[in-house]
Chain A
Amino acid sequence: MSWGFLRDLLSGVNKYSTGIGRIWVAVVFMFRLLVYVAAAENIWKYEHDEFECNIKQPGCKNVCFDHFFPVSQIRLWALQLIIVSTPSLLVVFHVAYRENREKHNQKLYRNPGKIDGGLLCTYLISLILKAGFEIVFLVLFYKLYNGFKIPHLVKCDIRPCPNTVDCYISKPTEKMIFLYFLVATSSLCIILNLSELSYLIFKYSIKCYLKKYMKKQQ
């Protein structure tokens, strides 16, 4: 069980997406998942070992690290990737439900995978949830770490540290560069989701309006 599962899930979703949805899947694959696995994971790999405090007091380093990093940035990143990809499952389930219904009864839908009717609602809800989760995680990152900057020095005075002690974080510049990259790709994904939402709402309102107009004409 690894990221391969998420990759397969997203490939499955790709079939029932619009053009913008496919671009979103490509962005998530290439710029978030691949960057995470190939580059970012290794930067945070030894963060605890390399976190150094200017003191010999046993336990001080552990306590200070725990205080400044309640949840490691890399774990938050992984959680974000998983939770943001999950709403797409709603669409997959709905299509599977439609196909299941068709198996037991006669042909109900022209094409179970086409985005119309109930599937359109599910799709729109999944888009809203995706954008919502992205925003929640970005806000969480911002609040937990006081912005997206990583200082190279933090001052810690929690017991058992005897006084205020200087603690040094490893690779702060590299971590900051990748955090900014994370923020940029998240923002891009939010923009893609919102554009897809507006595009679908616009398209189907026009369709609805035209249908009503044609009926009136008749």
Chain B
Amino acid sequence: MDWGALHTILGGVNKHSTSIGKIWLTVLFIFRIMILVVAAERVWGDEQDDFVCNTLQPGCRNVCYDHFFPISHIRLWALQLIFVSTPALLVAMHVAYRRHEKKRQFRKGDQKCEYKDIEEIRRQRFRIEGSLWWTYTSSIFFRLIFEAVFMYAFYFMYDGFRMPRLMKCNAWPCPNTVDCFVSRPTEKTVFTIFMIAVSSICILLNVAELCYLLTKFFLRRSKKAGNSKQQPNHENKEETKQNEMNELISDSCQNTVIGFSS
């Protein structure tokens, strides 16, 4: 069980996403999860072992490390990725529910159901409209919120995105103010900036997708309104035709009756 399982779950959602959604998923997997697993975890792997303080006092290093890194960067990113991927599950569940309903209809032998077999239902791609539109839009909204919250938490906890080389610590049991040195600060800064940049790109993609969906929704609504305005004219034409036909029929009937009687 690892990120591969998440890939399987989200891969299913990919089919029912918009194009921007597909790009977002690719960016997530290649530039965030893969970088995290393949590179970032190695960089932060020896973080406490190589965190060195200029003192022999036992316990000082542990306490200083805990003070400066309440939660490690790598763990924050892992949590961020998990939380940001979770809203896509809502969409997956909704699609699964719809498929289940269609399968049920098909099994009952409903004439309304237009599928030829169950395989077609399984392979079918649902359009993002109706209740699925609402689920999809809320999932994007939640994604945005989670990304923003984590980025802010990161900035707040570490006073920016730079990893300093030296930290001064005077927490007990350190006897005085002690110099502590972080391992690989430049490499960590580079990766931090990279991850933040990719998070920002993902936020932009999500905002773009949200705008696209809203635009599509309003365009569809105005189309429907336009269609419903046209339809009364059609109905009027048909009504007048029917009225003429009725008049002709009644006239001919009257004529026959009169003709009969006379």
Interface residues of A (CB under 8 A from B): 2-4, 6-7, 19, 22-23, 26, 29-31, 33-35, 37-39, 42-43, 46, 50, 52-55, 152-153, 166-174, 177-178
**Known contacts A170-B48, A171-B66, then 7 further A-B pairs from the complex at CB < 8 Å, ordered by chain A residue:** A4-B1, A30-B85, A39-B74, A54-B59, A153-B173, A171-B48, A174-B70
CB of B211 closer than 8 Å to a CB of A: no
Contacts A3-B1, A174-B72, A177-B70 known; A52 to B82 CB distance under 8 Å? no
Main secondary structure of the interface of A (DSSP, over half): helix
Query: How far apart are A19's CB and chain B's nearest CB, in angstroms?
Result: 8
Contacts A30-B89, A35-B79 known; A52 to B1 CB distance under 8 Å? no
**CB-CB nearest 8 A-B residue pairs:** A3-B1, A168-B59, A168-B62, A173-B70, A39-B78, A54-B58, A38-B78, A39-B75
CB pair B66–A54 under 8 Å, yes or no, is no
Q: Which residues of A contact B49 (CB under 8 A)?
A: 46, 50
Q: Which residues of B contact A172 (CB under 8 A)?
A: 66
CB of B144 closer than 8 Å to a CB of A: no
Main secondary structure of the interface of B (DSSP, over half): helix
What total of chain B residues lie within 8 Å of the partner, measured CB to CB?
32
What separation, in Å, do the CA atoms of A111 and B99 have in the docked complex? 18
Q: Which residues of A contact B3 (CB under 8 A)?
A: 34, 38
Name the residue on A nearest B44 (C-beta).
Answer: A42
Query: How far apart are B188's CB and chain A's nearest CB, in angstroms?
Result: 16
Q: Which residues of B contact A19 (CB under 8 A)?
A: 97
CB pair B1–A174 under 8 Å, yes or no, is no
Name the residue on B nearest A181 (C-beta).
Answer: B79
27 intermolecular pairs with C-beta atoms under 8 Å apart: A3-B1, A3-B2, A6-B1, A23-B93, A29-B5, A30-B82, A31-B82, A31-B86, A34-B3, A34-B5, A38-B82, A39-B74, A39-B79, A42-B75, A46-B48, A50-B62, A53-B58, A153-B63, A166-B59, A167-B59, A168-B63, A168-B173, A171-B48, A171-B66, A171-B69, A173-B70, A177-B71
Q: Which residues of A contact B48 (CB under 8 A)?
A: 46, 50, 170-171
**Cβ contact of B65, chosen from A3, A34, A37, A170, cutoff 8 A:** A170
Q: Which of B29-80 contact A (CB under 8 A)?
A: 41, 48-49, 57-59, 61-63, 65-66, 69-72, 74-75, 78-79
**Cβ contact of B1, chosen from A26, A33, A42, A177, cutoff 8 A:** A33
**Cβ contact of B89, chosen from A26, A52, A174, cutoff 8 A:** A26
**Cβ contact of B58, chosen from A2, A29, A52, cutoff 8 A:** A52
What separation, in Å, do the CA atoms of A196 and B74 have in the docked complex? 36
Q: Which of B93-134 contact A (CB under 8 A)?
A: 93, 97
Interface residues of B (CB under 8 A from A): 1-3, 5-6, 9, 41, 48-49, 57-59, 61-63, 65-66, 69-72, 74-75, 78-79, 82, 85-86, 89, 93, 97, 173
What separation, in Å, do the CA atoms of A112 and B41 have in the docked complex? 46
Q: Which residues of B contact A178 (CB under 8 A)?
A: 75
What separation, in Å, do the CA atoms of A22 and B96 have in the docked complex? 11
Q: Which residues of B contact A54 (CB under 8 A)?
A: 57-59, 173
Count: A-B pairs, CB below 8 Å: 102
Name the residue on A nearest B81 (C-beta).
Answer: A38
What separation, in Å, do the CA atoms of A3 and B75 have in the docked complex? 20
Name the residue on B nearest A169 (C-beta).
Answer: B62
Which of B6, B58, B72 has the most A CB atoms < 10 Å from its CB?
Answer: B58
What separation, in Å, do the CA atoms of A3 and B86 have in the docked complex? 20
Query: How far apart are B262's CB and chain A's nearest CB, in angstroms?
Result: 64
What separation, in Å, do the CA atoms of A37 and B82 have in the docked complex? 12
CB pair B66–A34 under 8 Å, yes or no, is no
What separation, in Å, do the CA atoms of A2 and B5 have in the docked complex? 13
Name the residue on A nearest B92 (C-beta).
Answer: A26
Q: Which residues of B contact A43 (CB under 8 A)?
A: 72, 75
Contacts A26-B89, A53-B58, A172-B66 known; A2 to B1 CB distance under 8 Å? yes
Q: Which residues of A contact B93 (CB under 8 A)?
A: 22-23, 26
What separation, in Å, do the CA atoms of A216 and B2 have in the docked complex? 56
